[in-house]
Amino acid sequence: MSRVIEPGARVLVTGASGLLGRSVAQRLTREGYLVTVLQRGASDLDGVQEVRGSLTDPAAISRAVQGQHAVIHMAAKVSVSGRHEDFVEVNVRGTQRLLDAAQAAGVTDFLHVSSPSVAHAGASLIGAGAGPADPRHAVGSYAQTKAEAELIAQARGGSGLNVLIVRPHLVWGPGDGQLTSRIIDRARSGRMPILGSGAALVDTLYIDNAVDAFIAGLRRLPQIAGQRLVLTNAEPRPIGELITGIAAAGGAPAPRLRLAPGLAKGAGAVVERLWALSEKLAGPRADEPPMTRFLAEQLSTAHWFDQRATQRALDWAPQISVDEGLERLREHILRTGAVR
């Protein structure tokens, strides 16, 4: 029988400060894995070994990988704006450093977390599979550098390291300080647009389902290494419906701002230039631009994925539907008063 990664194995999780990384680290700990986290700030997670540092720090990376059986690599620079070189340093060179250190330390299994945007050149993706990463045609610094990082990780497979690539698509749910909170915040302030008719079908992934998939991927990694898998709820919905549902769960009104996709892309190009000039003159900004070409593309094109190969490989299927996830999000916000 092929080897599986059982509880008791030592697992390094990078990027455990975000919702997905934190949730995966917590679940692994509860299930009996010995978890180390690598991140810049305090994790505030019980039962984990913590290494403070970043993917730009070779010494911290070296400490983190010592004695590990497996690595789940989630840490990345995630933004729709910023200097391209900063994305390269974290997403590309950081992944290279981590792979080098992992192999030097004798790590055998590596779960590399990528993004469907690495294979999205702008056209609609309808029932798509996990196409090859393409840095030349990916849109924006994040997607381009994640595509480069994926190719680096993929190339290490078979050289003494089992590599599995997973691409979670639009993870959302309670505790999400990115997609979920941004939709709700912008809807509350009347700045959340619907592009075109809002009818383009889009897949998303509820947080609990994402964690289940990651655990399944880690456990079966030695058996399914070499594959790349897109992870979704397998419930494509009109994007306008999804945005309105998430906004409503947060008590925000349905977005009324409507923009033509072409106008939004043109505005996004202008905003990107102005944003870059602003950051050049005054330094990095804490906020993000209201529109970019990448955002316009994501809000106006279909992107949903055939999940049959993914579910077979992982022996996994989503347990929480989009509708149940929206209800859980609504209850969380009513109970806590916050999305995060």
Looking at 87, 110, 142, 305, which residue is catalytic?
Answer: 142
Which amino acid, residue 301? T
3-state helix, strand, coil in the chain (%, to 5): 45, 15, 40
Q: Is 203 helix (H, G, I), strand (E, B) or coil?
A: coil
Which amino acid, residue 104? A
Q: Is 33 a catalytic residue?
A: no
- The residue among 82, 146, 123, 80 whose CA lies nearest residue 292 is 80
Give the DSSP letter string of 118-146: GG--SS-EEEE--PPP-TTT--HHHHHHH
Name beta bridge partners: 37: 13, 50
User: Which element (helix H / strand E) includes 52?
Assistant: strand 49-52
CA–CA dist 246, 271 (Å, integer): 26
Cβ atoms of residues 181 and 214 within 8 Å: no
Active-site residue set? 142
